[in-house]
Chains A and B, each alone.
Chain A
């Protein structure tokens, strides 16, 4: 039953107001970022950019050594993404497409570890890494990624259970082993899920604050999250420069999202496949 024009108009207006209140904070950021120092303190306040000091982006970036922190963050985030996707794809294939005793037990153990906050394991793991003399290096940030991520294993299982098993049977008759089935059949069929995993891994690594703040002291090794967090707490923060660098920091995940949006939404939709059973 098609909705009447009035109802549709009301719906549209409600959506418009909701969207504006969601997005306006980011536009306000841009307003502050483009002003002279202390743009925040204007009375009456400015609601949209009237000045365009694009040099603020450069100045702010210089203050926090943005380029070196950017390089560090890219290296770490890409390594974490590769590690998490590779290991989680292997694990979720093993948990769904190979039958062996103990499989479900391990799946439940992995899922249970999802409910524990990272802070729970932080201190004992911190102790291990400092005993191994890896404190103030990137290893504690990168290495754990290669041992799977429980959330991705869950996502992978939801997706792989929805692929018909007849493909595997046919490939087995042709003499394929599990690694071949995985790389030649399952992976090509699960592009949206792999893209989703990669984006989520990258975003998580890009946004991680807890681990860098615990493990990294040397400013040369700082990630962007540390640089941004340090900037905001520094005395005499210049809001306009801060907002400019903060915008630069959020740009890469935004671009990534827009580029891969189609796959990403589809991949997230697969969470809906089975619910919790």
Chain B
């Protein structure tokens, strides 16, 4: 018996070694591109540093400045929340609506799906610069369309009332991504549940609220969380709609761009790292909150 068990245990050790060998690239990547940057940024956030010289330790000075005299940073926090809070739920509702409209057979289903997904395929630099022109107050497409209905549209990007809405509309242009995931979710709901609900006398609305919605809660949550993550990572949209890193349109100055602008525009890397830490804490809180919704999720 003994030789067998040694061989088995050697095999077990081997599995550990091989397993770690397979995931080694991931471990190296995690340590260099996630763990080290996060930990070192705690120190950098307490320095004065232009990015090229040696960081000079200044304690909590950056944080004190941020919390006491920096309205621009806090407005970027507020804008980012507004952007995510409006855009993500709207994206889920519209994505689900499109998926429901396309779920049952109809002429041209495949073409519709492709057309709705099309904007998602475009590189963000291309779509953002396109919308930069669509939002032009005098000659842009959006106000041209509004004029057809006799409405004089605003200066979308520079009006503080509409600027964040412009970013949200741009986000919703990519709603086809949500639609595709919802469609495959709807297809995986077993038909017999609908049938038995119908036999029990459930109306169309009843079946939607008590069968469809609970059955797709897992992907609803998944998309809610990925939507939040994407919204909190938005960079290209504010960067290109802003103009350049040396100027700032306070109405679309989202957090990621604010950090980038301070670091690479203002050569204030230490301060930017302090903002990074505030961003990380905010994202952690938001994500924990989002994951707590898991208890309302119905798993089969």
Residues on A facing B (Cβ under 8 Å)? 3, 8, 11-12, 14-15, 18-19, 22-26, 28-29, 32, 40-42, 45, 87, 90-91, 93-95, 98-103, 106, 109-110, 113-128, 130, 144, 146-148, 153, 178, 203, 206-207, 209-210, 213-214, 225, 228-229, 232-233, 239, 242-243, 246, 249-250, 253-254, 257, 261, 265, 268-269, 271-272, 274-277
Are B129 and A228 within 8 A (Cβ)?
Answer: yes
How long is the Cα–Cα vector from A210 to B128 in the complex, in angstroms? Answer: 14
B82 an interface residue at 8 Å Cβ cutoff?
no
User: Which residues in A have their C-beta under 8 angstroms from that of B132?
Assistant: 232
Given contacts A11-B106, A246-B130, A19 and B112 within 8 Å (CB-CB): yes
Complex Cα distance, B264 from A106, in Å, reads: 33
The reply to whether A117 and B233 contact each other, CB–CB distance below 8 Å, is yes
Interface residues of B in 109-159 (CB under 8 A from A): 112-119, 121-127, 129-134, 136, 139, 141, 144
Contact B126 A119 (CB under 8 A): no
Given that A45-B139, A106-B23, A115-B229 are known contacts, is A120 also in contact with B40, CB under 8 Å in the complex? no
Across the interface, do A18 and B116 meet the contact criterion of CB distance under 8 Å? yes
Interface membership of B4, Cβ < 8 A: no
Q: Using a CB–CB distance below 8 Å, which chain B residues touch chain A?
A: 15-16, 18-23, 25-30, 32-34, 36-38, 40-41, 44, 51-52, 98, 101-102, 104, 106-108, 112-119, 121-127, 129-134, 136, 139, 141, 144, 173, 176, 180-181, 184-185, 188, 218-219, 221-222, 225, 229, 232-233, 235-236, 239-240, 243-244, 256, 259-260, 263-264, 269, 272-273, 276, 279-280, 283-284, 287, 294, 297, 299
Whether the pair A123, B272 counts as a contact (CB closer than 8 A) is yes
Evaluate whether A100 and B29 lie within 8 angstroms (CB atoms) in the complex, with A26-B118, A206-B123, A261-B114 already known. Answer: no
Complex contacts, B256 vs chain A, CB 8 Å: 117, 119
Shortest beta-carbon distance, A119 to chain B, in Å? 5
Q: Give every chain B residue within 8 A of A128 (Cβ-Cβ).
A: 32
B236's partner among A106, A209, A268 (CB-CB below 8 A) is A209
Known contacts: A45-B144, A209-B124, A229-B125. The answer to whether A119 contacts B29 by CB under 8 A is no
Pick from A41, A126, A228, A276: contact of B294, CB below 8 A: A276
Return chain A residues, CB-CB under 8 Å to B218: 274-276
Tell me the bound Cα distance from A45 to B181 in angstroms.
37
A257–B119 Cα distance when bound, in Å, is 11
* A120–B279 CB distance below 8 A: yes
The answer to whether A19 touches B115, judged by C-beta atoms less than 8 angstroms apart, is yes
Complex: how many Å from CA A120 to CA B274?
A: 10
Residues of A within 8 A of B117 (CB): 257
Instruction: Knowing A119-B256, A147-B26, A210-B236, say if A269 contacts B125 (CB, 8 Å).
Output: no
Q: Is the CB–CB distance between A178 and B136 below 8 Å?
A: no
Give the residues in chain B near A103, CB-CB below 8 Å: 19, 23
Chain A residue numbers with a CB within 8 Å of B102 are: 15
Known: A94-B23, A207-B124. 16 other contacts (CB 8 A): A11-B101, A19-B116, A26-B118, A32-B133, A95-B22, A115-B284, A117-B279, A119-B233, A121-B38, A123-B51, A123-B269, A178-B18, A178-B22, A242-B129, A254-B122, A276-B294
Among A106, A206, A277, which residue has its beta carbon within 8 angstroms of that of B26? A106
A144 close to B184 (CB less than 8 A): no
Write the nearest CB–CB distance from B225 to chain A, whole angstroms. 7
11 A–B contacts, CB within 8 A, in A order = A23-B118, A40-B136, A94-B22, A95-B22, A116-B34, A124-B37, A254-B122, A257-B117, A268-B180, A269-B181, A271-B222
B184 touches A272 (CB 8 A): yes
